[in-house]
Amino acid sequence: MIIVSKHDFGFVHIAKCAGSTIRQQLREHDDLEGRLSRTHQIEGYGKLNCSHLPLQVLGEIFPEDLQALRRVTSYTICREPLDRFASGIAQRLRGTLGREPGEMKQSEIMHETENVMAHLEAHRGDLTNGYVLFAPQIGYVELDGETVVSNVVPIERMDVLFDAIEHKHNLPIQRDTVWNPTVTYRNPRLTGPLNRLKKYAREHLPVSQYSKLRDVGVRVFTKKGVPRLEEAIKGSERIKAFVQSYYAADIALHRRAVEATSDTVSGSASSAGS
């Protein structure tokens, strides 16, 4: 999450919803100085990725930041839940389990996906050990039935959010880059070195230079998506039924966001929280 109070702007980053594209570009303007863009050891919660705290947890751990968010015009990006779930599985396989999904058998992918679904069903709300990737999106928009983040933009209409950031809030933004896409590395042996290089460059280079380097790296060293994983997940009736049930509120949230932006003119943002 970032807040830029002097520009009346707040952004809540839902995992696997292209939020890095916004958060990384505006990090230099963040009132919180990146505090909610890092992992912290929180008493009673364990090790948490504070980049992706649902509003309930944000209010419990950082109540002053929740109040600061309420004082500004706030935004988030949502995503079709099955697409997001598949992207979350890809990141979990790479980051938590150290596997390259493009090199795995579909049976292996399905086995690990079943493990994730079983854990989510048994431990709803667990944000540790990478499960924040699967936290319901509605929890980043509403708190106790109240809409806190009223501007919800579907990932398909990022242009609407870019317009609002640039024209309404007068903040700099680059539109022609995606910070953290789901990809398949052309050479799996380069996964580790390239990720370390990306992390170093992101932390030490100016945003404009980093984005150019990042875009070149994506084009040269990766292919878009993870076809084997996407085929396994999106072709499974069991997984689709799980997503339909577990993420029912997210499905409705995404549908409202798409409908609200379908006829949006340039320069405005959607209000899908109503």
Q: pLDDT tens, 8-49?
A: 999 999 999 999 889 888 999 999 998 998 888 888 888 899
CB 177 within 8 A of CB 21: yes
Q: d(Cα 205, Cα 198) in Å, to the nearest integer?
A: 10
- Residue 242: the pLDDT is 98
- pTM beyond 0.75: yes
List, for residues 182-208, the tens digit of each pLDDT value. Answer: 555 655 666 667 667 766 666 666 666
Burial state string for 69-102 with b = 16 or more CB within 10 A and e = fewer than 16:
beebebbbbbbbbbbbbbbbbbbbbbeeeebbbb
- Residue 104: the pLDDT is 87
Q: d(Cα 149, Cα 74) in Å, to the nearest integer?
A: 5
Span 97-118, mean pLDDT?
90
pLDDT surpassing 80 at residue 211: no
Span 54-63, mean pLDDT?
96
Q: Which candidate, 264, 9, 29, 15, places its Cα nearest to that of 153?
A: 264
CB 3 within 8 A of CB 65: yes
Burial state string for 201-232 with b = 16 or more CB within 10 A and e = fewer than 16:
ebeeeebeebbeebeebbeeebeebbebbbeb
Q: Which candidate, 92, 49, 122, 130, places its Cα nearest to that of 226?
A: 92
Percentage of the residues of the chain whose pLDDT score is greater than 70: 78
Both tokens of residue 169? Answer: 């809030």
Which amino acid, residue 150?
A: S
List, for residues 118-149, the tens digit of each pLDDT value. Answer: 999 999 999 998 899 999 999 999 999 999 99
Q: Which candidate, 144, 166, 153, 143, places its Cα nearest to that of 260?
A: 153
- Residue 225: the pLDDT is 53
- Residue 226: the pLDDT is 72
- Residue 95: the pLDDT is 80
- Residue 262: the pLDDT is 82
List, for residues 219-259, the tens digit of each pLDDT value. Answer: 555 555 578 888 899 999 999 999 999 999 999 999 999 99
pLDDT confidence of 111, banded at 50, 70, 90?
very high
Q: Radius of gyration (Cα) for the chain, nearest Å? A: 18
Both tokens of residue 80? Answer: 């079709």
Greater confidence, 191 or 60? 60
- Residue 271: the pLDDT is 45
List, for residues 66-101, the tens digit of each pLDDT value. Answer: 999 999 999 999 999 999 999 999 999 988 778 888
